């Protein structure tokens, strides 16, 4: 094994300390299988494979074109073939992971999968165990379906790039990186405060329940107050921003991007300093109507924002004061979304899923039907 593989194997064993006996063997096996698969993939992905050896969460690389009329993947017996031939992303349904390369991997579920994230050698699954709520985070090896419990219990979980994890359990906030032994930091927080994502070294916190999953699921959900915790600086000290709809963060990691209401109640696009949470920039002529959710692209150029009257994409590179915009092919009222890359977004409305190149707004978006319990794997 390389030093990185040794380290990830050891960290997974440490994190799975509460898992059943033999979990450390699963960690070793997962790394070995991941290493073998990476060798087979080197001719296709070259040096890129080495960059993500330690299991960093990343975008789904194997895309399939969406063509023809709307297709249905509601038949469980045909779902593996359907995802392989028609879907641009991996899907979990009925306790099985269906991958874009045609595999059907059974999952040992302890609850209901609410979110899932692709890692180079496997997947990170967030399961809801009870209505309380209590969640579990596990690492799934798709080679044989073996799983390692990473976080056995949490009241809230956020998963970010480079396999970074934050959670809260009974008022205790924690943050760690799966590939970094000894990185776990903890602090106490008031009741109701929960992690929703990351910006730079900071953990982003919210005082509200985000059904959309916060930054770790690609966007906020409604107006909430936000705060940040810098784990390396010690205990959490409350600061709190003005109530906002959080869209993401600028690529430099110094500013959050959000909507805040002006004195008349209209939404303004704002850049919020991570240090101190003050507003650095504000533009109040961006949105034509109220917004309640949004997703900022990884490079900060595109903003997909939704409200009761629909959804629009804004080109913030054209202008942050009065950006060019165009309508989304999905209405936005019940829409969920996440970015595959800097210009391609996955759209979901009910059981319909499709991908959209926002820089090609006139292209037809083909949607595909999935079972009602289907979870689309996030990047």
Whole-number pLDDT of residue 85: 81
State how far the Cα of 306 lies from the Cα of 288, in Å rounded to an integer: 11
Best CA proximity match to 291, nearest among 220, 229, 362: 220
pLDDT single digits (tens) 159-173: 988 889 999 999 999
Inter-helix orientation angle 23-45/3-15, to 10°? 140
Whole-number pLDDT of residue 7: 47
State how far the Cα of 104 lies from the Cα of 135, in Å rounded to an integer: 24
State how far the Cα of 250 lies from the Cα of 352, in Å rounded to an integer: 30
Q: What is the 3-state secondary structure (H, E, C) of 128-191?
A: EEECCCEEEEEEECCCCCCEEEEEEEECEEEEEHHHEEEEEECCEEEEEECCCCCCCEEEECCC
Where helices occur in the chain by DSSP H, the ranges are: 3-15, 23-45, 48-51, 79-86
pLDDT single digits (tens) 178-207: 887 778 999 999 999 999 999 999 999 998
Whole-number pLDDT of residue 215: 59
pLDDT single digits (tens) 115-150: 999 877 899 999 999 877 899 999 999 988 889 999
**Residue whose structure tokens are 């949105």:** 287
- Residue 378 is classified by DSSP as B
pLDDT single digits (tens) 64-98: 333 334 566 667 667 888 888 888 889 999 999 99
Best CA proximity match to 207, nearest among 225, 195, 230: 225
Whole-number pLDDT of residue 71: 60
Cβ contacts of 39 within 8 Å, gap of 6 or more: none
Average pLDDT, the chain: 80
Q: Which residue would you say has higher pLDDT here, 6 or 153?
A: 153
**Per-residue pLDDT at 55 exceeds 80:** no
pLDDT single digits (tens) 337-376: 999 999 999 998 888 898 999 999 888 888 888 998 999 9
**Per-residue pLDDT at 57 exceeds 50:** no
Residue 157: beta bridge partners? Answer: 167
Tokens at 5, concatenated: 């593989």
Whether cis (ω within 30° of 0) applies to the bond prior to 133 is: yes
Tokens at 81, concatenated: 């073939």
- DSSP-derived pairing of the beta strands 368-369 and 71-72: parallel
Q: How many CB atoms lie within 10 A of CB 283?
A: 16
pLDDT band at 332 (very low <50, low <70, confident <90, very high): low
């Amino acid at each position: 094994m390389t030093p990185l593989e040794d380290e990830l194997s050891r960290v997974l064993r440490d994190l799975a300390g509460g898992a059943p006996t033999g979990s450390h063997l699963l960690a070793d096996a997962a790394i070995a299988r991941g290493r073998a698969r990476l060798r087979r993939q080197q001719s296709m992905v070259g040096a890129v494979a080495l960059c993500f050896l330690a299991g960093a969460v990343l975008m789904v690389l194997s895309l399939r074109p969406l063509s023809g009329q709307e297709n249905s993947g509601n038949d469980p017996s045909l779902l593996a073939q359907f995802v392989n031939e028609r879907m641009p992303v991996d899907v979990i349904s009925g306790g099985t992971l269906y991958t874009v390369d045609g595999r059907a991997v059974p999952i040992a579920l302890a609850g209901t999968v609410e979110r899932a994230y692709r890692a180079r050698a496997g997947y990170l699954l967030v399961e809801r165990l009870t209505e309380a709520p209590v969640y579990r985070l596990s690492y799934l090896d798709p080679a044989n379906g073996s799983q390692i419990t990473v976080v056995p219990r949490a009241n809230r979980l956020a998963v970010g790039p480079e396999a970074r994890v934050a959670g809260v359990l009974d008022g205790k906030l924690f943050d760690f990186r799966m590939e970094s032994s000894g990185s776990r930091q903890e602090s106490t927080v008031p009741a109701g405060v929960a992690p929703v994502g990351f910006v730079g070294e900071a953990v982003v916190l919210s005082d509200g329940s985000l059904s959309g999953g916060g930054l770790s699921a690609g966007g906020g959900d409604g107006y909430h107050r936000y705060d940040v915790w810098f784990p390396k600086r010690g205990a959490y000290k409350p600061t709190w921003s003005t109530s906002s709809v959080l869209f993401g963060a600028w690529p430099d990691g110094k500013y959050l991007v959000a909507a805040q209401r002006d004195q008349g109640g209209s939404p303004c696009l704002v850049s919020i300093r991570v240090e101190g949470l003050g507003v650095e920039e504000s533009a109040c002529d961006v949105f034509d109507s109220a917004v309640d959710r949004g997703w900022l692209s990884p490079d900060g150029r595109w903003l997909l924002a939704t409200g009761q009257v629909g959804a629009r994409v804004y080109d913030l590179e054209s202008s942050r004061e009065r950006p060019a915009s165009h309508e989304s092919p999905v209405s936005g009222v019940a829409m969920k979304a996440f970015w595959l890359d800097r210009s391609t977004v996955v759209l979901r409305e009910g059981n319909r899923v499709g991908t959209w190149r926002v820089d090609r707004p006139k292209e037809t978006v083909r949607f595909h039907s999935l079972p009602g319990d289907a979870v689309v794997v996030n990047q």
